[in-house]
């Protein structure tokens, strides 16, 4: 849902260029399973998002749908003052519907790096799609016990032709089930840009998944955006009409 969430998974680091694939078949297989943890032919989710910054703390409850990789729609359920606001991603375009003004706005290229709904994600994060196994060269940089858990750590460097904005990603997963624990995203100067922490593993969409994702910007460690999945289901019947501009007001 939050592609995420969403999304969510779009960022990495290192200016190193690798000519030939050095990712082992085992690493590819594990990364493919991690990619598919958040993907399906379609999805529906109810989530809660809390954003904490230096100046404010706000919480929103949202309903979201997706179909394939190109279509995603989020609708705000709470708070009341923002209820009915909708974000639609269709291909590389993002539209926002504001019920108070009854206006639909298409985001321009200059708005893509702006904050999405006041969170620590950008509008650009919603548009870009990435698969770890396809866009990165990966090596298993650690495998064993860490803090009482058996884990596997990957260091991922983007391929020369990958459409990603980061230099490197360090991803740690549980050895049993390959469930993510944390991800560290670095910029092109190899400086830590942000961290995602995964918590509260439970049954979601038919298998164990983290129900909480917390995003922490490196330059503002006291701030965060936290997603909490209340429900999640995959491969459901979702109409194409849901992801059209004419449907935004009707919802």
CATH number where 227 lies: 2.50.20.10
Distance CA 226, CA 48 (A): 8
Number of compact structural domains in the chain:
1
- The pTM score is 0.83
Question: Over the stretch 56-73, which tens digit does the pLDDT of each residue have?
Answer: 999 999 999 999 888 999
Residues in CB range of 6: below 8 A, 6 or more apart: 38, 121, 125, 126, 227
Rounded Cα distance, 23 and 65, in Å: 33
What confidence tens digit (pLDDT) does each residue in 132-164 have? 888 999 999 999 999 999 999 999 999 998 878
pLDDT at 109: 73
* 177/5 Cα distance (integer angstroms): 20
What's residue 2's pLDDT?
41
> Residue 113: which domain range?
5-250
Positions of the chain with pLDDT under 70 = 1-21, 126-129, 250-251
């Amino acid at each position: 849902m939050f592609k995420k969430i969403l999304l969510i998974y779009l960022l990495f680091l290192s200016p190193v260029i690798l000519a030939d694939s050095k990712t082992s078949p085992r690493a590819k297989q594990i990364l493919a399973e991690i990619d598919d943890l958040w993907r399906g032919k379609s999805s529906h989710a109810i989530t809660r998002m809390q954003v904490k910054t230096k100046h404010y703390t706000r919480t929103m409850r949202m309903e979201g749908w997706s179909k394939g990789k190109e279509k995603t729609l989020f609708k705000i359920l709470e708070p009341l003052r923002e209820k009915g606001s909708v974000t639609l991603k269709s291909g590389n375009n993002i539209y926002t519907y504001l019920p108070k003004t009854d206006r639909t706005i298409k985001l321009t290229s200059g708005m893509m790096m702006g904050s999405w709904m006041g969170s620590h994600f950008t509008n650009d994060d919603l548009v870009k799609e990435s698969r770890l196994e396809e866009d990165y060269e990966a090596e298993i940089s650690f495998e064993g016990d860490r803090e009482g858990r058996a884990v596997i750590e990957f260091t991922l460097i983007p391929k020369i032709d990958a459409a990603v904005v980061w230099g490197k990603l360090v991803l740690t997963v549980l050895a049993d089930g390959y469930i993510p624990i944390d991800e560290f995203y670095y910029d092109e100067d190899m400086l830590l840009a942000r961290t995602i922490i995964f918590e509260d593993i439970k049954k979601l969409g038919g298998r164990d998944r983290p129900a909480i994702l917390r995003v922490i910007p490196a330059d503002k460690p006291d701030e965060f955006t936290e997603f909490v999945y209340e429900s999640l289901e995959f491969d459901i019947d979702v109409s194409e009409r849901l992801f059209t501009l004419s449907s935004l007001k009707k919802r």
